[in-house]
Amino acid sequence: MTALRQRMIDDLTIRNYSPRTIQTYLLHVGNFARYFGKSPDLLGAEEIRRYQIYLVEEKKLSWSALNQIVCALRFLYRTTLQGKVEIDRIPYGKAPKRLPVVLSRNEVAQFFEACGNLKHRALFGVLYCAGLRIREARLLEIRDLDSQRGLIHVRQGKGNKDRYTLLPDSLLRMLRCYWRAYRPAGFLFPGRTPTEPMAKSALTSAIERVARHAGIKKHVTCHVLRHSFATHMLEAGVDIVTIQKLLGHSSLKSTSLYLHVAMPAPRITDRPVDLLDPSTLQTSAR
């Protein structure tokens, strides 16, 4: 391991970056160095510019993938190399303004009706009823469910932040049915190895199969269920600041995106989670 690599690891660690982020940043910086065949401390603004052009024009990276690399390089040159390159010389890509894909309530009902695997149904229920990210759902443990308060404790979500989100009665009933059938002990949704969480790839392929079987024409992903949760809560009259906290967004700007896809006339209810119709979350195994 080079001294520069170790220094960057130390800089990231003392600033409490997650192990996953540290690994990702090191990968991007390593790819940058290999592209020129030189250590990053021998490279400057012109090489960074050429590398970004290569990523955009030849690799055809999405703006989000490009900006992740930009974050890694900015950290390297701002912090570890202490301003060797001015940060403004490492520009971010401009994000396209796209609205999220959102399922209607009828489509949500179709989706869960078409899901015959109880384990998948329970996990998809967590994504929709609690608004979790796929990684947060995969890493849930039994101890994170507070049935008495009707809350789910999300530990170390995006940005290494803990938060609480909803555990409505309909979801709790489904999870109890799932637990009786599978008896998970540590992770709520373990993979083939009980001590490891369920693989992301397994969920990605499962949700695509279920959406096709349900006849839904939209491109359905795990994150679409999270988008649908936020939009339906907004339509139910829940204030946007509360939704921001439930989703774990650091900025209200991220949450305000749902204002553009929610129906203009919200339906008010005393308990917004009641609009997440329990009939769509049948607990019987097939």
- Tell me, what CATH number does 198's domain have? 1.10.443.10
Q: Cβ neighbours of residue 203 under 8 Å, at least 6 residues apart?
A: 120, 123, 134, 138, 222
Please report whether residue 96 resides in a domain.
Answer: no
53/169 same-domain check: no
Q: Report the pLDDT value the prediction gives residue 282, as an integer from 0 to 100.
A: 56
How far apart CA 90 and CA 67 sit, in angstroms, is: 10
Widest Cα–Cα separation across the chain: 62
Q: Report the pLDDT value the prediction gives residue 113, as an integer from 0 to 100.
A: 93
- Tell me, what CATH number does 26's domain have? 1.10.150.130
Active site residues: 133, 158, 223, 226, 249, 258
The phi and psi torsions of 183 (rounded to 5 degrees) equal: 55, 50
What are the helix and strand counts (H, E) for the chain?
Answer: 12, 3
Residue 41 is given by DSSP the state: G
Please report whether residue 180 resides in a domain.
Answer: yes
Q: What is the pTM of this model?
A: 0.73
172/263 same-domain check: yes
Q: Cβ neighbours of residue 88 under 8 Å, at least 6 residues apart?
A: none
Please report whether residue 69 resides in a domain.
Answer: yes
> Which residues form the domain of 61?
3-89
Mean pLDDT by runs of 10 across the 286 residues of the chain is 92 91 95 95 92 92 90 94 83 79 93 94 95 94 94 86 92 94 94 91 93 95 94 91 92 87 61 51 51
